[in-house]
Amino acid sequence: MSKNWRPATKLVHGGTLRSQYGETSEAIFLTQGFVYENSAAAEARFKGETDGFIYARYGSPTNDMFEKRMCLLENAEDARATASGMAAVTAAILCQLKAGDHIVAARALFGSCRWVVETLAPKYGIECTLIDGKDLANWEKAIRPTTKVFFLESPTNPTLEVVDLEGVAKLANQVGAKVVVDNVFATPLFQKPLELGAHIVVYSATKHIDGQGRCLGGVVLSDKEWIDANLHDYFRHSGPAMSPFNAWVLLKGLETMALRVKQQTENATKVADFLAGHSAVAKVIYPGRKDHPQADIIARQMTGGSTLVAFELKGGKNAAFSVQDGLDVVMISNNLGDAKSLITHPATTTHKNLTEDARVELGISPGLLRLSAGIEDADDLIEDFDRALSKIGK
């Protein structure tokens, strides 16, 4: 039954485990451990002969509800909830690799994700080739006999480029590599990587899943066979588990995610259209617009635009700072997916650690701003931008 529910219904009811009290809202089980009726019951639990929890680092009831709800939404067989998005990314990549293995990754990645594959993995003898993921030929060229993982983000941060997920999955399957997709920017509502052929999906639940700027979280989803063979032991023994309290906050976040993302996307669309018509703006990159350079791929693999808009000002850094400082409703913050509209200047914040060349390669110019649209009234956002843009250079 629940498998056939539409996403908004899954988000409200999916995975709920009611205690003997029949509570309406999901309960928080803030417990480290679990007690057993007798010695034989403990032995059977440890042998895996009976279902149930053993220790909160392995799994616990509130986290289980969150994982089950995410599995339903993603049509995944199994999942593990982690303390942050980066814990999810690191676990998903490292748990399946050993020294001598090779990763191919699209270079347009969230900063910390890029550090994990470019700097951390090589310390342990895992090599990585970073490519421009837009062109499928680059993926094919980078393959080595030792390639085990393809890693990518689509749409990317901050320039909202997309990668052809089906094309990449086909190439990976030819060489037996696993495709790991960081699906944060698309949200689970607008893109289903597993259905497009990817093997593993990761989220920073900190973003749209919480959606109200409260707590960190992450999740790794895949088929049961991959999780049992790769993530299960890594997760138990290296300890990236989510706090049950955060799992509860995130469950409540999921309940309203479809409503929020719908409103955020409508707002993003309206602001993108407004910005595209403004004389101070050099270009607007928004996956929901027909003038996106990869609109054909977006139409094939996504069912909605995005809650994020990237745009470049003609006046470079000075104009970008002037616009940010002139906004009243929209706040300056490097976070995203929040109910509050947030704006950031990637070149001096999220991507300041890249070399100038790397920024140029990624299209992160001094005039680029990234807006994460919130759930405010779109007219207030447009008026805010109109005012801020009129103040450039004044």
Which residues on neighbouring strands pair with residue 331, listed in sequence order?
342
Closer to ligand PLP at the Cβ: 191 or 204?
A: 204
Would you count residue 216 as binding ligand PLP (CB under 6 A)?
A: yes
The single residue among 69, 114, 207, 292 that binds ligand PLP, judged by CB under 6 A, is: 207
Quick one: 68 or 207, whose CB is closer to ligand PLP?
Answer: 207
206 counts as binding ligand PLP under rule CB under 6 A: yes
Residue type at 189 in one-letter notation: L
- Cβ nearer to ligand PLP, comparing 205 with 281: 205
Spatial separation of the C-alpha atoms in residues 162 and 155, rounded to whole Å: 5
Q: Would you state the structure tokens that stand for residue 357, as one six-digit string?
A: 């060349």
Stretch that binds ligand PLP, among 121-129, 160-168, 200-208, 349-357 (CB under 6 A): 200-208
Among the listed ranges 50-58, 110-118, 223-231, 296-304, the one in contact with ligand PLP (CB under 6 A) is 110-118
Nearest approach in angstroms of CB 157 to ligand PLP is: 5
H or E segment to which residue 77 belongs: none
DSSP output for 239-288? --BPPHHHHHHHHHHHHHHHHHHHHHHHHHHHHHHHHHT-TTEEEEE-TT
In the bound state with ligand PLP, the residue whose beta carbon lies nearer, of 180 and 216, is 216
Q: Does 84 bind ligand PLP (CB under 6 A)?
A: yes
Segment lying near ligand PLP (by CB under 6 A), choices 20-28, 80-88, 261-269, 279-287: 80-88
Cα–Cα nearest to 209, from 244, 270, 250: 250
Spatial separation of the C-alpha atoms in residues 286 and 170, rounded to whole Å: 27
Is residue 226 close enough to count as binding ligand PLP by CB under 6 A? no
Among 211, 218, 288, 346, binds ligand PLP (CB under 6 A): 218
Q: What angle do CA 286, 378, 312 make, to 5 degrees?
A: 35
Neighbours of 85 (CB within 10 A): 24
Question: CB-wise, 206 or 269, nearer to ligand PLP?
Answer: 206
Which residues, numbered 137-166, are part of the site for ligand PLP (CB under 6 A)? 153, 157
The residue number whose beta carbon is nearest to ligand PLP equals 85
Backbone angles phi, psi at 97, to 5 degrees: -120, 160
Q: Select 68 or 114, whichever has its Cβ closest to ligand PLP.
A: 114
| Other CB atoms within 10 A of residue 255 CB | 17
Find the part of the chain contacting ligand PLP (CB under 6 A) among 109-117, 237-245, 317-325, 371-379: 109-117
Range 167-196, binding ligand PLP (CB under 6 A): 182, 184-185
* Residue at 54: amino acid letter: I
H helix runs in the chain, sequence order: 7-13, 39-47, 61-74, 85-94, 111-115, 121-123, 136-142, 165-175, 187-190, 224-226, 232-238, 244-276, 295-301, 316-326, 356-362, 378-390
Specify the DSSP class assigned to residue 27.
P
Q: Which is nearer to ligand PLP, 215 or 280 (CB)?
A: 215
Of 41 and 358, the one with the shorter C-beta distance to ligand PLP is 358
Q: Which of 86, 142, 172, 284 binds ligand PLP (CB under 6 A)?
A: 86
In the complex, the residues that contact ligand PLP under the rule CB under 6 A are 84-86, 89, 110, 112-113, 153, 157, 182, 184-185, 204, 206-207, 216, 218
